[in-house]
């Protein structure tokens, strides 16, 4: 069973508000991913880290989204100014590295009203 912990499970924000969600990866996993899953079950890669360093992120992330994975603290994903289109399930995942099993959290469901 996955031990990736995401908080909060549900988040409701008004348009323009800041939205922040957190993730505690599996112990010992150096790689952390953030994905956005829309209502059509499509996954959009946002960003991934290895040992606190950003490996890759998409352009969208660079503008309104920010993420970090400090050592000895939860990882976080923050949307500076929420938009209606940001409403989605945000999934955090972790793994030991390339080509290994990826463990997912239960997600944070963001609703922007």
CA distance 88 to 98: 27
Residue (35 or 65) nearer to other proteins, CB: 35
CB of 61 vs other proteins, minimal distance in Å: 14
Among positions 18, 55, 63, 83, the unique one binding other proteins when judged by CB under 8 A: 55
CB of 81 vs other proteins, minimal distance in Å: 27
CB of 5 vs other proteins, minimal distance in Å: 11
CA distance 112 to 15: 6
Q: Please report, as ranges, the residues that interact with other proteins according to CB under 8 A.
A: 2, 4, 6, 31, 33, 35, 40-43, 45, 48, 50, 55-56, 91, 93, 95, 97-107, 109
């Amino acid at each position: 069973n996955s031990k990736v912990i995401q908080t909060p499970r549900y988040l409701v924000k008004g348009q323009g508000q800041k939205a922040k969600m957190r993730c505690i990866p599996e112990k010992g996993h150096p790689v952390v991913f953030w994905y956005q899953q829309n209502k059509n079950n499509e996954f959009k890669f946002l960003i991934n880290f290895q040992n606190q360093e950003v490996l890759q992120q998409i352009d969208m992330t660079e503008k309104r989204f920010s993420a970090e994975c400090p050592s000895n603290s939860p990882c976080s994903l923050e949307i500076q100014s929420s938009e209606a289109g940001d409403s989605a399930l945000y999934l955090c995942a972790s793994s030991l590295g390339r080509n290994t099993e990826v463990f997912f959290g239960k997600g944070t469901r963001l609703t922007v009203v």
